[in-house]
Structure 1
Amino acid sequence: MTTFDYVAPRPARWPVRRIIGATILLALLVFAFLPLLIGGADPLKQSLRLTLQGPTAADWFGYDHLGRSMQARLAAALRLSLGLALLSVFTAMIPGVLLGVLAAWRGGFVDRAVGAVSEAFLALPGLLLVLMLTAIVPDNPAMLYIGISLVL
């Protein structure tokens, strides 16, 4: 075999990794949205008699200091996180694709201007921008959404 012979690389084991990743994502989606379909516990309902109780068969994660179901709260937080991530990605994708097409189509000054604006956003630390916006209006998912969309 000479140095110029081409040897095809062996196929990677990526299908197994993709199957594992898809299974984890599916399990998270089921955990997040199944309580909506079967009528799970309210994540905001308080019962002080259940304060700091451990896991039970009905509630696998126990209760917090106000007697709220940690399982219901985790499912609600997961729904909010997944929805916010999906919305932020689509919101950032639309102007990004449109501005990229405009910059490629027109070229010249428009290309340099779009590039300068995108580099200005990339120069800011993303986490800092999101934290600044959420510090201005705390406890508001809309500001978190706006910050994540601007960073993307």
Structure 2
Amino acid sequence: MDRLRRRLADPGSPARWPVVLRVVLAAVFLQAGVGKFVNHDAYTARFERWGFGTAPGAVAILVGLTETLGALALLTGVLPRVASVALIGVMVGALATAGRVDGGRDVWLPVVLIVLLAALAVAGSRSAALLPAWPRPRAAAE
């Protein structure tokens, strides 16, 4: 009982699972985001099929940019909660468009990613950063 009390009083170092989850999700979203730039014509055709008839190319670029910047934010640990929420928005959009039109993997994969991103958004700032913290300026002596 004493051990449990000490553990609850001082949980120790930050949990490591959010760091692992951030790296895995960053790999997924970096690949998806960069792919929208590398294979832009193919993604433009997909976005047009999914119902973005007026500007599918611009939407593909916007989604690719959001996924790439979100992945970099998750990887570096800079604003991981903001990145998670932004990527949840992208996945809700994917579920509503690609999931509705194509079905299959486009239905279950966004749901899985939404759940993982939500867990990361809750863990957010309690997780360890991958990059060292920048030195803070010292307060001037009065």
Please give the range of the TM-score, normalised by the shorter of the 2 chains.
Answer: 0.3 to 0.5
Higher helix share: 2
Higher RCO (CA-CA < 8 Å; seq separation 6+): 2
- Under a length normalisation based on structure 2, what TM-score does the superposition of the two structures give? 0.33
TM-score, scaled relative to structure 1: 0.32
